[in-house]
Structure 1
Amino acid sequence: EELILHYLRNRAAAAPCPVPIIADVDIYKFDPWDLPSQAVYGDCEWYFFSPRDRKYPNGIRPNRAAGSGYWKATGTDKPIHDAATGQGVGPIKFRNVSM
Structure 2
Amino acid sequence: MEKSLPPGFRFHPTDEELVIQYLKRKVLGCPLPSSVIPDISLFRLSPWDLPGCGEKERYFFTEREGKNRAGRTGFWKAAGSDRPVQAGRSGLVVGLKRALVFYRRRAGGAAKTDWCMHEYRLLLLPSLSLSKACVERESPDWVLCRVFRKRKPSKNRCLLGRRSVQESEPSCLTEAEGEDGTGEVSSSSALS
The two structures have a TM-score, normalised by structure 1, of 0.72
Q: Which residue of 1 aligns with 2:82?
A: 77
2:87, 2:25 → 1: CA distance? Answer: 16
Q: Secondary structure at the match of 2:22?
A: helix
Q: RMSD across aligned C-alpha pairs, in angstroms?
A: 2.0
Matched length: 87
Q: What 5-or-longer segments of structure 2 have no aligned partner?
A: 1-15, 104-192
Q: Which residue of 2 aligns with 1:98?
A: 102
Q: What 5-or-longer segments of structure 1 have no aligned partner?
A: 55-61
Q: Secondary structure at the match of 2:24?
A: helix
Q: Secondary structure at the match of 1:95?
A: strand
**After the TM superposition, which residues 1-99 of structure 1 pair with which residues of structure 2 at under 5 Å, given as runs?**
1-35=16-50, 38-39=51-52, 43-54=55-66, 62-83=67-88, 85-99=89-103
Q: Report deviation, 1:81.
A: 2.4
The 3 A distance-change label for structure 1 pair 19 and 75 is farther
The 3 A distance-change label for structure 1 pair 75 and 32 is farther
Q: Secondary structure at the match of 1:23?
A: coil
2:64, 2:86 → 1: CA distance? Answer: 25
What is the letter of the counterpart of residue 93 of structure 1?
A: K
1:44, 1:12 → 2: CA distance? Answer: 26
Q: Report deviation, 1:10.
A: 0.4
Q: Secondary structure at the match of 2:57?
A: coil
Select the structure that is richer in strand. 2
Q: Report deviation, 1:95.
A: 2.2
The two structures have a TM-score, normalised by structure 2, of 0.40
What is the letter of the counterpart of residue 90 of structure 1?
A: V
1:70, 1:82 → 2: CA distance? Answer: 31
Q: Report deviation, 1:43.
A: 1.6
Q: Which has the larger radius of gyration?
A: 2
Q: Secondary structure at the match of 1:11?
A: helix
By relative contact order (CA 8 Å, sep 6+), the higher-ranking structure is: 1
1:81, 1:70 → 2: CA distance? Answer: 29
Select the structure that is richer in helix. 1
Q: Which residue of 1 aligns with 2:130?
A: none
The list of structure 1 runs, each at least 4 consecutive aligned residues, that deviate by more than 3 angstroms after superposition, is: none
